[in-house]
Amino acid sequence: MFGDLSYGYLIVVVAAMTISISFHEMMHGVVAWYLGDTTAEEAGRLTLNPLKHVDLVLTILLPTVLILLHMPPIFVAKPVPFDPRNVRYNEFGAALVGLAGPFANLLLAVIAALIFRLCKWSTFSTIGESVMIFIEINLFLFVFNLLPLPPLDGSRLLYAFAPEPLQRLMYQFEAAGLGLAIPLLIILSPVISPFVSNLVSDIYSFLLR
């Protein structure tokens, strides 16, 4: 995955990533709205418009540079704002908001895989390769964002079950922002990348076998 460095490949990756992240972020806001928090709606984030979700540096340039350096890409969008105090079910409601994004990507991957199989596209055709890349990126976003590391979405599920001392530690880490999280993810990539890649590969094989 992410091994081809041709311009055409990078264009497909950026396009697929933009669509996938926009849907991912919108679904955070939709679930938050459904659970009673209107913060995302008031910020204009209940939309598929990529201009509302994509950050030029973090969403486009950072993963492109990492791919060119043969490193695992990190896809970061503008976080959808929501107030956990407003959602129903307290921390469990906040966990549902967090999980909405990754599972939205899983849904896109499943739909794309079904279309790929129904249309019987060749894996060597341009459209077939593009759909395969789209599936891989969405599976990558699904697995990667479920890692229980703040500010990734999986940490919201951990918040719901973690004891209070661990919650306080996680809040402090999350408050440090992406300036701490991104370097840490890059440092931990030799450990995280094989796990994520293997799980993505297994799900991908299941969907397309």
Residues with catalytic function: 25
**Angstrom distance (rounded) from CA 204 to CA 113:** 9
3-state secondary structure of 86: coil
**Angstrom distance (rounded) from CA 154 to CA 132:** 25
Residue with tokens 């994509």, as numbered in its chain? 54
CB 54 within 8 A of CB 44: no
**Cα dihedral sign for 135, 76, 185, 160?**
negative
Q: Which two tokens stand for residue 44?
A: 């204009």
